[in-house]
Each structure stands twice: as C-alpha cells, then as structure tokens.
Amino acid sequence: MSKQTHAFQAEVAQLLHLVTHSLYSNQEIFLRELISNASDACDKLRFEALNNNALYEDAPELQVRLSFDKAAKTLTITDNGIGMSAQEAIDHLGTIAKSGTKDFMSKLSGDQKSDAQLIGQFGVGFYSGFIVADKITVETRRAGAQAEEGVRWISGGTGDFEVETIHRAQRGTSVILHLREEALEYANSWKLKEIVGKYSDHISLPILMEKEEWKDGELIDPKDENGGRQPGAMVKTAEWETINKASALWTRPKKDISDEQYADFYKQISRDFEAPLTWTHNRVEGSTEYTQLLYIPSKAPHDLWNRDKKAGIKLYVKRVFIMDEAEALMPNYLRFVKGVVDSADLPLNVSRELLQESRDVKAIREGCTKRVLSMLEDLAKHDKAPEATEGVTDVLSEEDKAKQGQYTRFYAEFGAVLKEGLGEDFGNQGRLAKLMRFASTTSDTVSVGFADYKARMKEGQDAIYYITADTLAAAKNSPQLEVFKKKGIEVLLMTDRVDEWALNFVHEFEGTPLQSVAKGAFDLGKLQDEEEKKAAETAAETFKPVLAKLKEALKDKAEDVRVTSRLVDSPACLVVTDDGMSMQLARMLKQAGQQAPEVKPVLEVNPDHALVKKLDGSVHFHDLAHILFDQALLAEGGLPADPAAYVKRVNALLS
C-alpha cells in the first residue's frame, strides 16, 4: 500500500487539540498508558495463541522494550504482542470507539492534574503520547502476517494521519515519540526507570531497557597523564536489563506487598487515578482453587449506571490472561468491584460461553461475592466512632481508626447499586439488608440501617415504617408522615430510584415487617389508643354521605375515598392498596419508556380539616373534590392529568 492520508474522526481531532493544549500537569502518565497498551497487546497474543501457537513465530518470550535516542529526540516503546494490520491501525488509531469519550472531554476543566489523570479511564491512552510529542510514528505488524505486511502510521496530532506499508521483520508494535523540546527529560534512563517503578512495576511482563555505563572522557593532552579530561558520559551497552519486578502481584505473599504497591496495582488495572477504598487478597483452596485480589474503588465510574456495559474482573488461568471483563465472576450489583482472579482449575481455552455454564465459575463467583460482602461488613462495623468512653480510643488500632467513615464514603458512591442485590441475590439478601442505609425523620444523613431503626422502635411498634419519594424534601414533607411526626415514630426516607423496586423483594428485617406509610389502610396498632380509634370510627360514620359524593365525583381518578387519621395538617393524601404498584414506581417506568399499569390510588381525607368540612353542602363540591385530589397528587410528587383544568378551578374559587 502506498502512502495514504486519512482524516481523524471528529472526536479524535477534538481530543487531540485538548491533549496538546490543556494536559500539561503530570505529563509522565503518557508512559504508563503506552506501557499498559503494550502489555494488553501481549495479553491478546497470548490468548489468540492458545488456539494457534504459530502466532508466537520465533519469539515466544513476550516483553516490552523502552529505548531512547537523545540526538534524534525520540523515545520508543516496543512490544512483541499481537500487532496490527493496516486496517486495524486505521480503525484503532484514527477512531475512538468507546462511548465515554465525549464524557471524558466534557470533564476537561481548569483542574489540570485531574485532567491528565482522567485520560486512561476512557480508552484514549494512546493519544496521551501527544502530551510530550509533536509527532508520533507507529510501526507494527500483526502476528502471523508476512514481513512485507508491516504498517507505518504517522501523525503530528492535528487533523490527519498517514498510513503506508513497510517491511517489518518482527511482529508487534513500536510507538516512536518525537519529543518536544520541553519534554527531552524523557530521553533519560534515570527518569524512565523512575516512572516505570512508580506506575508499571506490577506489569507481569518484563519491561526491558538498554543498560548504560559510565565512560570517562579522553585526556585533553595525551602526553600529560595528569592533564584534564573531556567530560565523561553515560553510554549504552549491548545488553538489556529488566527494570520492573515482572511478576504478577497477586502471586506474591501478602506480607511481601506494601499498601502502596497494592494501590499502584489497582491504578494500573482500573485506569483510576485515585487509590482504592479497600481491598482483599486471598488464596482459596478446596474443590476449586483460585487466587483473588479484589478492590473497592473510592469513586464511582462515569458509566456506573450503564447495566449493558460489560463489567467484571480480570480472569487469568494459571497466570495466563484470558479475558478483561469476566462478568460471570461477579454479580451485576457488584459491577464496581475491580481486581483479578487467577484460577488453577479452569481450562486455558475457556470462553465466555463456557464461563456461564461452569460449576467452578459458579463457585468462584459465590466466593468472590461473599468476600466483597465481608469487606463491606467490616467497613460498616467500623464506620462510626465508638461511644465516648474513657480510654476507648486507646484500644482502637490504627487500622480500625482508618476505617471510620469509610463505609459512609462507599455508600454515597455505590449504595444505590448495592440495593439492586436485594432483588437479584436472594441467597445473600439478609446480609445485604444489614448493609442498607437510609435517611430518616430523625436523621437527614444517609446513615440509618434497619438494625439502628429496630433498636429505636417505640414500645408496641410492630413494623419498620418507610416512605419512598423522588427527593429528600418531598419525603420529609409528605402528608403521610404527619401523624408519625406527631407521635414521634421514626420513618425511613428512601429517595434512590432503585428503592421502590428493591423493596418489592424485601418484606421484613429479622422478623419485623416493613410497611410503607403510603400503602394500605392506616393502622398503628398498639401505638394508637382506644380513644383515637373510636374518634376515627365516629368520623367515618358521620362522613359517609360526603364520602359517597366524593367517590362519585372522582370515580375516574380514585379507586376509593375514605376517612383517615394519618393526617394532621393536610386535608387529603393519596395511598395505594397493600399489593398495588406505587404511583412513584409507575411514573418511573413511564419515564423510562416502559409499560406501566394505570394506578388508581385511594384518596384519604382528614375530616378535621377546614377545607374538607367545607365540602358538605358546598355549591362548588365538584371543583373542590378535584382540587383536593390534584393537590394530594402534587404533594406526593405527581402532576394533575389536566394541569390547565386544575388552575382554572383554583382561580375560580379564589375569585
């Protein structure tokens, strides 16, 4: 193929402009990204070679090499991995396929340190080379292709790139960075070793660099043995040395791994720039043998709520990389967990289809799930500081002190996703229920667990009361809470979109039923004295004629109309039957474009309210009835079916 010029995809052109003009802080991450890409290319070769050993050609030892030329101002990263064909070079280096690219670019802001760190998270690591280079040359040949099928790709990081066919004897890829003047420090062995040690020490492949040795300068006057010499210099030898540990971190004993090394390895596999919140490293023995190194991130990724995105942990079999996102090894509600599983039992040619059916995989999945839940339980146990008791802080270990507040941080980022497990993982539902946290009428912070609530229940209370709403303000100000506030009964306030769905699967906590205050007829049982019950019965009997007229007026909107004692200050509220779908869930389904049954709620009226009393004998009965219903609908977060008619009725009564 003769030299051809191609235009970058529009998003790539925009990205390159931002990279070359905005990302100046922490430049060194470009090397982390390019070494990581080189390692990935070797992993891909290893995987494809499971079915075609000839792909190794005459070089079975996979490696990454760094070389630099100060005179030419170049830095080269070479791997002998899978390589690329001409079309793959055009597709992979000229287009960004990942949907997160726009999101990445929208996050570029004035905080340059964060900007530079973000680049690896969105699959655009190759382009970070333009942070330090004003031109990049890529020479590559796909494993198994002929030497004449090599490819050279060149770009100055502007609007286009050139591609041509070359002769390349070795398979794999060389990325040649033509360094800017201000980036010549990266053509230095000491600097490169420092960066590799910081970011890429845990790459399981050897990273090689040419050895250097000091050479004294020649005598200025050879006749004068004591005369001055020309300046000495570091010169390259013909040997290559390994500059990283080149062993899989998870295979080492835990006692030999520092916290910093664990954190660095997490950053490498996750492309996250923040340290993880916590991690667990274990070798599991028994009928299924495997090693697990699992991390919980400190921040949620941008695509956390994309359930269609493939997520999972890296799968190795006997230290051979098999797949990057083995979703079969972790349930979907734990999709935020990062890490590695290295199995001794799975076949080397395992596929995604086989993973779904394997009994060993099921055992690994269950083991990983339980290990993650144990980590979370440990964080939750140490989340709050112990009660102030003389000398109690002295008995806390530094590790326990460090865990205080961590579960609150975790739950703020991932709590809503964890709730999905209540409806997906019935085997661990009890453990998950103990990990749930909510706001309540006694605490605006999301810190109240079911166990905390039970410990504070009033004498005679036989249910855990909760309400779901779109926002905390809507929940706190709901009319359904009025009598609970009056009696000092705590109610859990649930405001995550997933709450309504998840609570369909959880009906009790350790023997105590969960009761929505917006479902079913009002009954506080022993918390309501006989006098209150008698007053409610009398009001219902006295109000029968008005209730009959309200039912007729609202027959198209309300399933029933009844008197209630759950209201104190409000004239009316809407509830649904115990087994009915809540109005909030119906709205959420419709907003998501899904089919939802038409929900006809029950209108409950407060017989002691002035507006309700005004109904009896009013000439505006029909309008007042509809206003009562629509106002109750507004109070619980809905909208009148005919807003214009509602406004017209209100204006007519006001005038």
pLDDT digits (tens, 9 = 90+) for 524-536: 766 767 777 787 7
How deeply is 233 buried, as exposed, middle or buried, from its count of CB atoms within 10 A (0-12, 13-18, 19+)? exposed
pTM of the model: 0.68
Query: Would you state the pLDDT for residue 270?
Result: 84
For residues 370 and 286, the model is more confident at 370
Using alpha carbons, list the distances in angstroms from residue 254 to 249, 282, 286, 291, 342.
9, 8, 20, 12, 15
Closest C-alpha to 203, from 248, 241, 172 = 248
Which of 270-284, 398-412, 547-561, 585-599 bottoms out in mean pLDDT, i.e. has the lowest?
585-599
If you average pLDDT over residues 561-573, what whole number do you get?
Answer: 88
Best-predicted range by mean pLDDT (216-220, 387-391, 561-565): 561-565
CA–CA gap between residue 417 and residue 447 (Å, rounded)? 16
If you average pLDDT over residues 47-62, what whole number do you get?
Answer: 91
Query: Would you state the pLDDT for residue 352?
Result: 67
Using alpha carbons, list the distances in angstroms from residue 125 to 120, 143, 159, 271, 501.
5, 22, 18, 9, 38
Q: Where are the alpha helices (DSSP H) in 254-300?
A: 259-270
- What is the rounded average pLDDT for all residues in the chain? 84
Percent of the chain with pLDDT over 90: 41
Query: Would you state the pLDDT for residue 20?
Result: 65
For residues 272 and 584, the model is more confident at 272
CA–CA gap between residue 432 and residue 428 (Å, rounded)? 6
Query: Would you state the pLDDT for residue 238?
Result: 77
The answer on pLDDT for 168 being more than 90 is: yes
The full DSSP string for 178-207 is: EE-GGGGGGS-HHHHHHHHHHHSTT-SS-E
Looking at 3.20.20.70, 3.90.50.10, 3.30.565.10, 3.40.50.2300, the CATH number of the domain 4-216+235-242 comes to 3.30.565.10
- Give the end-to-end CA distance of the chain in Å, rounded to a whole number: 83
Closest C-alpha to 561, from 528, 589, 600 = 600
Tell which phi-psi region holds residue 565, choosing left (phi > 0), alpha (psi between -120 and 50) or beta: alpha
Tens of pLDDT, residue by residue over 171-227, are 999 999 999 999 999 999 999 998 888 777 777 889 999 988 877 766 666 555 555
Closest C-alpha to 149, from 204, 91, 213, 85 = 85
- Alpha carbon of residue 318 to chain centroid: 28
Tens of pLDDT, residue by residue over 480-509, are 899 899 889 999 999 998 998 898 899 999
Closest C-alpha to 82, from 42, 132, 133 = 42
- Strand 313-317 relative to strand 233-242: parallel, antiparallel, unpaired? unpaired
If you average pLDDT over residues 1-19, what whole number do you get?
Answer: 77
Query: Would you state the pLDDT for residue 112?
Result: 41
Query: Would you state the pLDDT for residue 586?
Result: 74
Task: Please give the backbone phi and psi of residue 247, each rounded to the nearest 5 degrees, phi first.
Answer: -135, 145
Tens of pLDDT, residue by residue over 95-106, are 654 434 445 445
Using alpha carbons, list the distances in angstroms from residue 412 to 299, 421, 447.
9, 16, 10
Q: Are the C-beta atoms of residues 199 and 192 closer than 8 Å to each other?
A: no
The answer on pLDDT for 82 being more than 80 is: yes
If you average pLDDT over residues 422-439, what whole number do you get?
Answer: 95
Query: Would you state the pLDDT for residue 117?
Result: 44
Which of 31-35, 322-326, 460-464 bottoms out in mean pLDDT, i.e. has the lowest?
322-326
The answer on pLDDT for 604 being more than 60 is: yes
Task: Please give the backbone phi and psi of residue 467, each rounded to the nearest 5 degrees, phi first.
Answer: -140, 140
Q: What share of the chain is helix, strand, coil (3-state, %, to 5)?
A: 40, 20, 35
If you average pLDDT over residues 270-276, what whole number do you get?
Answer: 85
CA atoms within 13 A of residue 168's CA, in its CB half-sphere: 27
If you average pLDDT over residues 332-347, what whole number do you get?
Answer: 90
Residue 79: which H helix or E strand, with range? Answer: strand 74-79
Q: Where are the alpha helices (DSSP H) in 382-496?
A: 392-395, 398-403, 406-418, 421-424, 429-435, 450-455, 472-476, 482-487
Q: Which long-range contacts (CB under 8 A, 24 or more apart) does 20-24 make?
A: 20/130, 20/131, 20/157, 22/108, 22/112, 22/115, 23/108, 23/112, 23/115, 23/116, 23/119, 23/128, 23/131, 24/112, 24/116, 24/131
Architecture of domain 249-381 in this structure: 2-Layer Sandwich (3.30)
Query: Would you state the pLDDT for residue 531?
Result: 75
Query: Would you state the pLDDT for residue 113?
Result: 39
Instruction: Name the token pair of 35.
Output: 């070494």
CA–CA gap between residue 45 and residue 411 (Å, rounded)? 39
Query: Would you state the pLDDT for residue 635?
Result: 86
Query: Would you state the pLDDT for residue 451?
Result: 94
Q: Are the C-beta atoms of residues 217 and 194 closer than 8 Å to each other?
A: no
Domain boundaries, the chain: 4-216+235-242, 249-381, 538-574+597-654
Domain 538-574+597-654: assigned CATH number: 1.20.120.790
Query: Please, which pLDDT band fits residue 62 given cuts at 50, 70 and 90?
Result: very high
For residues 435 and 522, the model is more confident at 435
If you average pLDDT over residues 138-147, what whole number do you get?
Answer: 96
Q: Where are the alpha helices (DSSP H) in 204-346?
A: 259-270
